[in-house]
Structure 1
Amino acid sequence: MLGLVVLFGATPAMAKNTRFLDFFPVYRSDFIQIRDGPCAAEFALKQAGAQVCRSLLDCMLENTSEVIKGDMGSGIVVLGLGPTILTFLGSGTAETSLLARRRPLLALLIASGSPAVSPLPTFVYPNPIEELEARDNHLAIMQFSPIQAIFVSILEYVLVMGAIANVYITAFTMGSWSINTISCDDLWYPTLWAVTTLFIHIFGSWCLALRVSTPGNNEDSQHRVKERLFRWIRNELTPCITHNKLQLIWKPESYLFVAISWWTSLLTVVHLLYGTVAFSSIQFIGYVDSIQILARFMGSAVVCRAILMFELAGMRNALKYESPQEEYSLVQASHTRLSSTHDF
């Protein structure tokens, strides 16, 4: 939500008024000196409302030393590689979708705070059954008392909210303190890249909803609605390790599932391409500032990824149902067990 506020709040008028006013710290004094010296006339026209953004950009680049330009080139390379690097630290849509079956609010926040999505091959969707199967020789997840569980959950929300704020503040700062050669007057390109990650995860959750169902979700009596509301509140306030096992019923494929799955895979590629183009077209930023920006994005991605993996591990090791079924089985399939990925 913070990203949407920042994105739609950055109107064209605001963008025009903030262009060239501030720069990243390393070369801030150099660029301000150039702006107020050789390019003072163009800057005055720009401040008066004239459409001279590109003329001012050309003037400042012409008066920038070759040493600074070389450093800016290194920074552009770092930023251009940033979206690709972040995909190795980000979470996949299938993983956040699984968490959304138990803690949809936390999953939504994790999707917002993770600035990149791990791409999926087209027409290949990971099998959630494989994700929830118990794993041998893995680090055991500790059990929590009710008070400890609430404390851990609050800590998760605090960390995720901090990651979200870090992502959108960093993205907005990128647009405000630099100039994008694609559209000189606009500052929202990095923020748009950060915001669209959330919608990719939403499509991923839709894919999972088309492929599996949860027993009992079709019951709509008033008593059942109240029970589900109470369960949702309880689940959101406690880690998944304290919940019962998640049971999913595998449903046959549908044409809608194939279409949405393909669309989600395509969106991840488009998002990566857009981020690469938007980041590599930024001017007036050196490699030191670029590394700091990338480090901030990486920090948010690592925090969200760690919390997601902790919750998925909790779902695998959660309390078992007392039932005649296999106790180690977390998922019920309608007919057959599937492999780790399913090709259409």
Structure 2
Amino acid sequence: MSGYSLSRWRQRWLIAPIIVANVPSTLAQGQFENFFQGWDSIIKDSLEVNCSKELEGYKNNPSAKWPVVDCILDDFSESRKAEGAAAALTFGLAPMVLQNIGPNTSETSLLFMRRPLLALLIAISSPWPRNPDSKVYDKIVKQPTAMNQPEVQSDEWSIWPAENNKPIGMMVLFVEYAMALGAAANVALLSYQLGHWAFFASANNTYDPVLFTYCSLLIHLVGIFSMFLSFREPERTGGTNWFERWLVNEFRPAAQNSPLRLTRRKKEEVWIPLRLLWKPLKFFLTWLLSIAPTLQVLMGTIMLSGSLLTAQVDARDCLFRYIASTIVARALLQYELSCLTRKDDTTESQANSHEKTETGLSTYTLIGKPS
């Protein structure tokens, strides 16, 4: 057995130099092979006829990419170069536009408390999140409770679908995940295409657009962690474990679930290793979330505005694809939050009772101060 293992290790050491020797050509694959449709045939003809020597040098040494770019640009007319500059401007507008219409970290964190999988898909679909909005929580805190509300005030519009309409609920669930998966897949595919089909002056590798895209997911995860440090769901009654509760909540539209109820977390309820750092960590995360989305927009603008080999029509299509995913994410999030933060009319009518709902959630304010 030991002899067999030793022979396998020897084989690996013999193969290793071959792999290392082929790393440059492996890294060179994916760039200067395919381009967006607008200039695909034009650039390929230029590479084949006038820039074959530079392209061969790039395949042997991936760091020698600029001679290839210079050769391609030398073949371009002045009008085509001007179109490339307009495409770079279109790309540069994307981060700011998407941040203005996309969700913020406070909203995705709130949805994560009830439907984490859907919240993560929405976060992936929004490459440039907005800064946290404290008004999301202020509105919930200021919502009148059943104890001080003089009379029942129902919502201005009834939720849809109704709780007893299970077939429509399943249809809504399917449409939600289909739209969320489609939006997330569109962003993932677009980030891959930008890395392999386009060329950016400030991107050193083909995977840089992917890294910039999914930095936003990290920002949302920081917001979720900050949310868990500050709030928690009340204790639940019953024998169901956390996995069963997650399945029930995740695969049920918010309109057919109970409203979300949260309470402020006390220091004693924090995980013991974090208690000493609880307040400093909260302050640090608040500061980090206040600047991270802006830095994400800044770095995204710097990267995308360095586009060199993309036509204006392709840059416009990429921008519209980004916007489409962000609009879908915004619509799904708005629908879910409007149902999660609704008032429970059946609970408000019981002003003097202290009962819990079937899921064990508090029946008063969405976020209440601890007693």
TM range (shorter): 0.7 to 0.9
Q: Which moved more, 1:174-183 or 1:66-75?
A: 174-183
Shift of 1:15: 4.4
Bigger Cα Rg: 2
Counterpart of 1:156? Answer: 176
Shift of 1:47: 3.2
Shift of 1:143: 3.1
| Matches of 1:249 and 1:112, distance apart in 2 | 28
**Are the structure 2 counterparts of residues 295 and 139 from structure 1 closer, same or farther at C-alpha, using a change threshold of 3 Å?**
farther
Question: Over residues 134-180 of structure 1, what are the superposed CA-to-partner deviations in whole Å (9 max), with x where a residue is unaligned?
Answer: 99985543233123212211221111111111001011101111122
Q: After the TM superposition, which residues 1-344 of structure 1 pair with which residues of structure 2 at under 5 Å, given as runs?
A: 14-49=26-61, 51-120=63-132, 125-131=134-140, 133=143, 139-144=157-162, 145-184=165-204, 186-216=205-235, 224=239, 226-251=240-265, 254-317=279-342, 319-320=344-345, 322=347, 323-324=350-351, 329-334=364-369
| Matches of 2:135 and 2:315, distance apart in 1 | 34
- Secondary structure in 1 matching 2:39: helix
| Matches of 1:125 and 1:187, distance apart in 2 | 37
| Matches of 1:250 and 1:151, distance apart in 2 | 35
- Secondary structure in 2 matching 1:254: helix
Q: Which moved more, 1:130-139 or 1:278-287?
A: 130-139
- Secondary structure in 1 matching 2:229: helix
**How many pairs align?**
317
1:83 is matched by which residue type in structure 2? P
Shift of 1:46: 2.3
**Are the structure 2 counterparts of residues 159 and 335 from structure 1 closer, same or farther at C-alpha, using a change threshold of 3 Å?**
same
Is contact 1:212–1:250 with CA below 8 Å preserved after alignment?
yes
Shift of 1:319: 4.5
Shift of 1:234: 1.1
- Secondary structure in 2 matching 1:108: helix
**Are the structure 2 counterparts of residues 175 and 292 from structure 1 closer, same or farther at C-alpha, using a change threshold of 3 Å?**
same
Q: What's the % identity of the aligned pairs?
A: 25
Shift of 1:62: 2.0
Is contact 2:55–2:68 with CA below 8 Å preserved after alignment?
yes
2:339 is matched by which residue type in structure 1? G
Unaligned runs of 5+ in 1: 1-10, 337-344
Is contact 2:126–2:326 with CA below 8 Å preserved after alignment?
yes
Unaligned runs of 5+ in 2: 1-22, 145-152, 267-277, 354-361
**Are the structure 2 counterparts of residues 155 and 12 from structure 1 closer, same or farther at C-alpha, using a change threshold of 3 Å?**
farther
| Matches of 1:190 and 1:39, distance apart in 2 | 26
Question: Over residues 186-211 of structure 1, what are the superposed CA-to-partner deviations in whole Å (9 max), with x where a residue is unaligned?
Answer: 11122112111111111111121122
Is contact 2:212–2:300 with CA below 8 Å preserved after alignment?
yes
Is contact 1:98–1:128 with CA below 8 Å preserved after alignment?
no
- Secondary structure in 1 matching 2:368: coil
1:151 is matched by which residue type in structure 2? M
| Matches of 1:229 and 1:236, distance apart in 2 | 10
2:232 is matched by which residue type in structure 1? S
**Are the structure 2 counterparts of residues 244 and 51 from structure 1 closer, same or farther at C-alpha, using a change threshold of 3 Å?**
closer
| Matches of 1:207 and 1:50, distance apart in 2 | 41
Question: Over residues 62-114 of structure 1, what are the superposed CA-to-partner deviations in whole Å (9 max), with x where a residue is unaligned?
Answer: 22111110000000001011001000121011101111111111111111122
Is contact 1:18–1:176 with CA below 8 Å preserved after alignment?
yes
Output the TM-score relative to the length of structure 2: 0.77
1:196 is matched by which residue type in structure 2? C
| Matches of 2:197 and 2:311, distance apart in 1 | 12
- Secondary structure in 2 matching 1:21: coil
**Are the structure 2 counterparts of residues 274 and 241 from structure 1 closer, same or farther at C-alpha, using a change threshold of 3 Å?**
same
Q: Which moved more, 1:138-147 or 1:192-201?
A: 138-147
**Are the structure 2 counterparts of residues 138 and 328 from structure 1 closer, same or farther at C-alpha, using a change threshold of 3 Å?**
farther
| Matches of 1:257 and 1:321, distance apart in 2 | 36
| Matches of 2:107 and 2:247, distance apart in 1 | 21
Question: Over residues 217-244 of structure 1, what are the superposed CA-to-partner deviations in whole Å (9 max), with x where a residue is unaligned?
Answer: 6x9xxx64x3443222111111111111
